């Protein structure tokens, strides 16, 4: 009986929310565990709609200067949205330290939450490392969890970080 990533119990993302996420066209949307929506870059309209659906917090892993990002802080402040940014510029930022920082942010975040980057690849990579380093999940299971959250091109970097 291995541990599952995530730790503390989170409010569920119900079927109505899941259907609405699909209808909103949220890029690369996945729900790898209760209370967590992983996705690619959101639009203003998607962020507002997700908040209206009941998503309580948003974390972006994009650097504010990336194309399509950088508007969130001002919009979130105006719209009363709980938003944080953990800038992950690329593979060099995919490491245990960044995964532990994300784990701390996730532990404090109101649920359900949205975690996103450009395509969800960085999301999956850091969730895999969080699963391994923080949640004590075996390496292969951590990588599989990362894939369920959007890990693709960064998988070699994740495996390197896991000593595989």
- Tens of pLDDT along 57-73? 999 999 999 999 999 99
Whether residue 1 is predicted with pLDDT greater than 90 in this model: the reply is no
Whether residue 123 is predicted with pLDDT greater than 50 in this model: the reply is yes
> Which pLDDT score, from 0 to 100, does residue 11 have?
64
21-44 pLDDT tens trace: 999 999 999 999 989 999 999 999
Distance CA(120)–CA(141), nearest Å, equals 18
**Phi and psi at residue 115, to the nearest 5°:** -120, 120
pTM for this entry:
0.92
């Amino acid at each position: 009986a291995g541990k599952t990533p995530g730790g503390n119990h989170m409010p569920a993302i119900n079927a109505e929310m899941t259907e609405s996420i699909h209808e909103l066209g949220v890029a690369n949307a996945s729900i790898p565990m209760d209370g967590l929506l992983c996705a690619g870059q959101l639009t203003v309209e998607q962020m507002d709609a997700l908040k209206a659906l009941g998503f309580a917090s948003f974390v972006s892993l994009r650097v504010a200067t990336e194309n399509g990002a950088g508007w969130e802080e001002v919009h979130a402040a105006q719209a009363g949205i709980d938003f944080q940014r953990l800038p992950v510029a690329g593979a060099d930022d995919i490491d245990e330290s960044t995964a532990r920082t994300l784990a701390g942010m996730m532990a404090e975040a109101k649920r359900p939450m949205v975690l996103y980057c450009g395509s969800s690849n960085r999301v999956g990579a850091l969730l895999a490392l969080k699963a391994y380093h923080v949640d004590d999940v075996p390496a292969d299971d951590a990588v599989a969890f990362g894939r369920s959250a959007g890990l693709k091109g960064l998988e070699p970097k994740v495996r390197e970080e896991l000593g595989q």
